[in-house]
Amino acid sequence: MKAVVVEQYAPIDQIALKEIAVPAVGAGQLRIKVQAASIGFVDGLKVEGRYQTRDSLPFTPGAEFAGIVDEAAGDVTGFAPGTPVLGMARSGALAEYIVVPAAAVEIMPEGLAPEAGAAFRTNYLTALYALGERGTLRAGEHLLVLGAAGGTGIAAIQVGKLLGARVTAAASTEEKRAFARSFGADDVIDYTRADWRDALKDLTGGDGADVIFDPVGGEVSVQAFRSIAWNGRHLVVGFAAGSIPALPFNLPLLKGGILIGVDVAQIAKREPEAQARVLTQLSAWLRDGQLKPVVGKVFAFTDFREAFKTMQTRAALGKMVVRIG
């Protein structure tokens, strides 16, 4: 089968499609014929060996996928060959076939395209776990989403609206702000402007944001915390800007605000009940049509490098998806 294979940690231009063996199915596992896989910011870091944990070499990147069950182990029920599924794995999705534990997939809701199925799990899990479980976002509260047109950002806008929040989307270009608005943001802010906090102050009646969803990091994170409401929650999701900010400890004191870490990679182990709760709610929204995963741009398998580069150059709107089968 064809797969993207990382043999040495390196920039994406040095990574190639290779012919490798189709993986065998073990106990409790399924082999999926991948139709679409999506790329997250983390995948780019992993390929270069710059993520906080390293996949051992060689490995195939890609953590989210949609496809068709090709083979099920004898001890797995409910996933006959031919069943369409979507799922999430640590890596391996940028390949014609992936083998995963049956627990890593769910049956595709009817009518959902593979590209949308592949764009679902990580970002929406991150958004609802962050906003619902960690940030306890309540209806009527003011949510500020940084990096709002990115993969997690756009998911946070949609989930924030479903939870009943008033959502302000902060993004760097007019095109990104229009994109954020088209997926439900009530207001938009250009956070590259020096006076962006004044705009937020006006939008929140002087109070600041009750919850801040922050996948960006860098100086903008500290600025955002300065605009937090009393008892506000600032959710630390990621550092797409490349630098980890340092928050002066007097700010939580002065602002009465709370800094909260979010790491979906740890919840299956540390908070399985929260993960199950979140996935159940997301599936319900997906099945009743309230939530539609945002597909940014779709790339051919042979153009997989472009999907990475679009994200790495800050040019992506929504999730980057690679069409495989």
Ligand X SMILES: NC(=O)c1ccc[n+]([C@@H]2O[C@H](COP(=O)([O-])OP(=O)(O)OC[C@H]3O[C@@H](n4cnc5c(N)ncnc54)[C@H](OP(=O)(O)O)[C@@H]3O)[C@@H](O)[C@H]2O)c1
CB of 20 to ligand X, least distance (A): 27
- The H or E element spanning position 277 is helix 272-287
Instruction: For residue 129, give the DSSP letter.
Output: I
Instruction: Supply the DSSP string of 124-149, one letter for each residue.
Output: HHHHHIIIIIIS---TT-EEEESSTT
CB of 155 to ligand X, least distance (A): 8
| CB 319 within 8 Å of CB 296 | yes
Nearer to ligand X among residue 25 and residue 185 (C-beta): 185
- Quick one: CA dihedral 223, 205, 179, 236, positive or negative? positive
Cα–Cα nearest to 168, from 212, 138, 206: 212
φ, ψ of residue 261 in degrees (nearest 5): -80, 150
φ, ψ of residue 52 in degrees (nearest 5): -60, -30
Nearer to ligand X among residue 25 and residue 311 (C-beta): 311
Nearer to ligand X among residue 84 and residue 296 (C-beta): 296
CB of 128 to ligand X, least distance (A): 12
Residue that is written with structure tokens 């890609």 in the block = 62
CB of 253 to ligand X, least distance (A): 25
Nearer to ligand X among residue 199 and residue 316 (C-beta): 316
- Contacting residues toward ligand X, per CB under 6 A: 40-42, 122, 126, 147, 149-153, 171-172, 176, 215-216, 237-242, 262-265, 311, 314, 316
Nearer to ligand X among residue 102 and residue 311 (C-beta): 311
CB of 184 to ligand X, least distance (A): 16
CB of 264 to ligand X, least distance (A): 4
| CB 91 within 8 Å of CB 54 | no
Cα–Cα nearest to 190, from 209, 210, 175: 175
Nearer to ligand X among residue 144 and residue 237 (C-beta): 237
